[in-house]
Amino acid sequence: MPTIRITTLNLLNDLSRWSERRSLVANSLAELDADLIALQEVSLPEDNAHWLADQLGYYIHLCPKTGRKRDYEGIAILSRLAVEREATLDLQSQNRVAQLVQVNLGGQSLVVVNAHLYWQPGESTQRTRQVQLMLEWLLNLPAETAIIVCGDFNGTPGSEAIQLMRKRFVSAYAAHHGSEPEYTCPTPLKRLGPPTLREVVRRIGSFVLNLATTHTLRPWRGTLDYVFVNERVQIIECDVVLNHPARHDPTLYPSDHFGLAATLWVEA
């Protein structure tokens, strides 16, 4: 059975400290030596995903958001494998999209979906609807298709959206370790300069949600990032990655999310 290694990472579209972070991201990804890298929060028009692809020697498949956000942010898949086709799904809220690439793995076709879902603290009907849209989209594929769905789902393991994903897919990390990671977001990355309006909104939302659900003032953290596989894909390993600071600066992390890396077998 062909083996594949895939990594997913939310790059953080706030370019604060990107000039420092980018080498840390590139070096960490180079060590992981993945066949495919799924990136979320790609900053446009700077297009830091293209910079990473050039540094690491990957082909890039970029998918901007829709509407007024298409010039500012997107998602991307970097691939060292031959891509047979690609497609985009409009997730119909917050200008979000999912992207699909079909790669050839030793003569076997494999579909990889990269997604960055609706952000809202706690439960979200829009996020659950986006999962439904993805699942309906994937039903159009032949039943024997091997599928990986990964990315930043913006939903914790107990949320309705993630429970819906689990009805058709298996979380690689949970299957390998017995449970999801303790958390993948936020990391201890220290940002420089004043926070953006988006970041202020995120902080307030996370504070209110944390206070309502845990009745504590301790900062929120949780698991938002996943690698899901269907029954045609077997899990060898899956681990949290890009989770260490720079050697010279304990406040400098690759992103505000940790990444996940999975090694998988694809059934012939």
Give the per-residue pLDDT at 158. Answer: 96
CATH number for the domain harbouring residue 121: 3.60.10.10
User: How far, in Å, CA of 196 to CA of 201, rounded?
Assistant: 9
HSE at residue 26, side-chain half, CA atoms within 13 A, is: 17
| Distances 220 to 79, 140, 248, 252 between C-alpha atoms, Å | 34, 38, 27, 19
Q: pTM of the predicted model, to two decimals?
A: 0.93
Give the per-residue pLDDT at 234. Answer: 97
What is the number of other CB atoms lying within 10 angstroms of the CB of residue 179? 11
Residue 146: domain span: 3-266
pLDDT tens digits for range 76-127: 999 999 999 999 999 999 999 999 999 988 888 999 999 999 998 889 999 9
Which residues of the chain, if any, have pLDDT below 50? none
User: How far, in Å, CA of 167 to CA of 165, rounded?
Assistant: 5
Residue type, 113: V
Give the per-residue pLDDT at 204. Answer: 75
The domain total for the chain is: 1
Give the per-residue pLDDT at 210. Answer: 63
Give the per-residue pLDDT at 28. Answer: 98
Give the per-residue pLDDT at 119. Answer: 94
User: How far, in Å, CA of 264 to CA of 268, rounded?
Assistant: 13
Residue 134 token pair: 């993805």
Rounded to the nearest angstrom, the gap between the alpha carbon of residue 151 and the centroid of all alpha carbons in its chain is: 2
